Chains A and B, each alone.
Chain A
Amino acid sequence: MTLLIVVAALLLLLFVGLPVAFALAGLGTVMLALKGLPLVMVAQNLHGAIDNFVLLSVPLFLFMSNILLRGGVGRDLFDAVQSWVGHWPGGLGIAALLSCGIFSAISGSSVATAATVGTVAIPEMTRRGYSTSFTLGLLAAGGTLGILIPPSIPLIVYGVITEESIGRLFLAGVGPGLLLIALFSVYCVLYATFTKNHIPTEKATWRQRRDTTLRALPTGLLAFIMLGGIYSGIFTPTEASAIGASCAILLTAALLRTLNWRGFMLAVRDSVATTIVLFLIVIGAKIFGKAVTLYQVPAQVSELVDTHVASADLFLVIVAGILLFIGLFLESLSMLLIMVPVLLPTVLGLGIDPIWFGIFFVILIEVALITPPVGMNLFVIQAVARTPLGTVVKGVAPFIGLMMLSVVLVWMFPDIVLYIPFRM
């Protein structure tokens, strides 16, 4: 009964338009007050919520992504990849996907990935005759790789909530990230082969390949420095984010000379604003999490699952269904912060690996990023391409199917997630 009332109250507050952070914090505070608990607990959680060194990587990865976005590194990256694969059937689409994949390895944000690569790839693909809806759908879906391929802001937050190793979570995202790139690429090839409505790209000369690759090399090196630094133990993920941000500034301002003072300031401001918005939800979720724990809501969920759900597989199907539904309305990180603390005891009780569950969860919130009416990547790509939202929505439909296929594959073959972090 308590569970039902809490869920109903939260949904009511969210749907009347109360900001997610204050729906969580407000409801949590009322719950504590109704139980007669001292409200000083609220203030204690406000102090403790973001007093965390690991969370520092969130603003810094955002800062790096925004610097690279404003510095326009997407053009160099896309040109380099295109020179190698652009002449293949569906080659421009594959080049866009690979660019998303590489940018994802230096950015923890799907929005930044979609915007950075989309700006360059969308005009080029539409100029070459690819249908607008296919192009926009591909870029919206490709952008979601940003939160799966390390570094990833949702995986950092998941690691903080569950106290799992951020490094292992990052490694676990690599296999599914490559799987998604492969699935999307196969679709590009099939699409290009059957529709034949695009103008093929000429094969680049070796000189063109060398020149474009050399220009994009520093951006690629950035990923190598950060991820290499983390896994060789040279620095922590948080320090890696600071080094990444500093290197991104050096790269775009000094080496490429594509970042001016105004671009730098706007990158800082965007990063600060986004961080505050995200941290407010972290703070709200912390208070709400405290309250639901004291009301034994996670235990009630666990009991409900024990009584009515026969297996871990059925539980995962139910979780996937819930995530797909609330993903229609709710922003991705809010889903993670609301759901994970409640579900975690059940996940552990059913013997599901928490690292595997984290990746399963993130793939499903990737789907939420491209499902209307609330899908951040849809809006970003719509704004970049300046087209009606309906065109983007039409284009992402096949990619949502492919992402669901990847969820099934990850469920059937857990090693896609677990092999790299645990067996390599």
Chain B
Amino acid sequence: MATSKPPLPATHPVAGSRVLALVDGVAWACARLGDVLLVLITVFLTYEVVARYVFFAPTKWTQDVSIVLQIWFAYLGMAFVLRQRQMIRITALLTMAGPSLRRIAEGFSLAVIAAFCLVAVIYGWDIMMDSIRLGRRQPTMLEMPNWIGELPVIVGFALLFVQAVADLIRLPFRPAPEFSPAGEHGPAEDDADAASGTALGEEPRT
């Protein structure tokens, strides 16, 4: 989803807000941590195959640890994906809508996301506390405590909630978001850019 969000004047209270900048920064840092986790998953699973066939010593931890890392990177990166406006959505009607309607639609989306995050955090917390209290463990050889895989749901949706609220605060102070059918899936644009040799920005877009 392509949007143009020209920066606000530096004197504007929203543009200069350190809190909002901090929210964006945390989302970015968590997404970069996710990059490291993906590389680790690749290394672990490759090591498992090598250990099994070269050293004849299969591990009992690679599968469990890789799944947990997958859960962590998927949930930790949600806020950054929202900030980058990469979520898949149907924009066919929004492309034809006027600025006010586009702004309302964006506000509605962010409000729904924030509301869902609250449900996820509140009930996710209950589940994790139950797991800790009852000492629940995974039914695998490693018997990892369940809360290790339940915590990222809470952290991820809490970050997403904060990011959605931050974007909601910015919404009235920015030009109305622009939508195009081509922009429904950010990473695909990146693929096209990669293929055509266009450099990609490494920092979060503002």
A-side residues, CB < 8 A to B, are 14-22, 25-26, 29, 39-40, 42-44, 46-47, 50-53, 55-56, 59-60, 63, 66, 69-70, 111-112, 115-116, 118-119, 234-235, 238-239, 241-243, 245-246, 265-266, 268-277, 279-281, 329-331, 334, 372-374, 376, 379-380, 382-384, 386, 389
In whole angstroms, what is the CA distance A330 to B48 when docked?
38
In whole angstroms, what is the CA distance A236 to B18 when docked?
48
Q: Which residues of A contact B115 (CB under 8 A)?
A: 26
In whole angstroms, what is the CA distance A279 to B93 when docked?
25
In whole angstroms, what is the CA distance A47 to B131 when docked?
12
Indicate if the CB atoms of B90 and A20 lie closer than 8 Å. yes
Indicate if the CB atoms of A40 and B127 lie closer than 8 Å. yes
Total A-B pairs in contact (CB under 8 Å)?
229
Q: Which of B53, B66, B153, B179 contacts A56 (CB 8 A)?
A: B66
Indicate if the CB atoms of A268 and B35 lie closer than 8 Å. yes
* Interchain residue pairs with CB less than 8 A apart (11): A17-B91, A29-B116, A47-B127, A56-B45, A60-B41, A70-B194, A112-B191, A242-B46, A274-B187, A277-B87, A373-B181
In whole angstroms, what is the CA distance A381 to B127 when docked?
46
In whole angstroms, what is the CA distance A269 to B80 when docked?
11
Q: A16-B93, A69-B195, A379-B181 are in contact. List 14 more A-B contacts (CB 8 A).
A: A14-B90, A15-B90, A29-B119, A42-B123, A43-B126, A47-B124, A47-B149, A111-B188, A112-B191, A118-B195, A119-B195, A239-B45, A272-B35, A386-B196
Q: Does B31 contact A (CB under 8 A)?
A: yes
A331 to chain B, nearest CB (A): 5
B33 to chain A, nearest CB (A): 10
B-side residues, CB < 8 A to A, are 31, 34-35, 38-39, 41-46, 48-49, 53, 63, 66-67, 70-71, 73-74, 77-78, 80-81, 84, 86-94, 105-106, 108-109, 112-113, 115-116, 119-120, 123-124, 126-127, 149-150, 153, 157, 179, 181-182, 184-196, 200, 202
In whole angstroms, what is the CA distance A295 to B126 when docked?
25
Indicate if the CB atoms of B123 and A273 lie closer than 8 Å. no
Secondary structure dominating the interface of A: helix
In whole angstroms, what is the CA distance A275 to B71 when docked?
11
A118 to chain B, nearest CB (A): 7
10 shortest A-B CB distances, which residue pairs?
A383-B192, A242-B45, A115-B195, A43-B123, A19-B87, A274-B187, A119-B195, A379-B182, A43-B124, A246-B46
Known A44-B127, A384-B192; judge A276-B74 contact (CB<8 A): yes
B172 to chain A, nearest CB (A): 18
Known A53-B63, A281-B88; judge A18-B74 contact (CB<8 A): no
Indicate if the CB atoms of B41 and A59 lie closer than 8 Å. yes
